[in-house]
Amino acid sequence: MPIKPDPEHVTAPPAPDAARKAYAPPKLTRYGAVHALTRAGIASKNEGNPGQKRVGGSDPRMKENIVRVGTHPLGAGLYLFDYKPEFRAAHGLGRQFGMMADEVVAVLPAAVSRDASGYLALDYALLGVARGDDA
């Protein structure tokens, strides 16, 4: 036997409110380049030069406080991180945005290289990722 609703507890849907505002799509707020938001105004030597290789130190051994914040269309992660103290002078102070070279090598090996010290680096221009002033 089906259960019938108790008429005392059934409410009618609310009447349309004539005073409601018409829907307006949200407005995009541009806060600026990731560089300005995460690097305390410090740019690497390769940023801000359109068409030039923008190579960044992307070896996980150089990074700490790593937080995945998204996924690149190729499937590799997008991260916020800090460089370890011994790498900050060369690669930047404060919070950084980038990728991990060990993940990228599996999907786009041409974007990965090694620096003179043997650490992995990425060509962010080849990946279509804007870092800093390239945004």
Instruction: Please give the average per-residue pLDDT across 79-91, as a whole number.
Output: 92
Who has greater pLDDT, 18 or 134?
A: 18
Encode burial over 61-83: b for 16+ CB neighbours within 10 A, e otherwise. ebbeeeeeeeebeeebbebbbbb
pLDDT at 135: 43
Check residue 27 and give its pLDDT: 74
| Res 104: pLDDT | 94
Q: Which residue ranges make up each domain of the chain?
A: 24-134
Write the pLDDT tens digit of every residue in 28-43.
666 555 555 444 444 4
Pairing of strands 96-98, 77-83: antiparallel
One DSSP character per residue, 57-114 reads: E--GGGEEEEEEEEE-TTS-EEEEEEE-GGGHHHH-SS-EEE--HHHHHHH-GGGEEE
Of 7-21, 65-79, 82-96, give the lowest mean pLDDT range: 7-21
**43-81 residue pLDDT tens:** 444 444 444 556 778 999 999 999 999 899 999 999 999
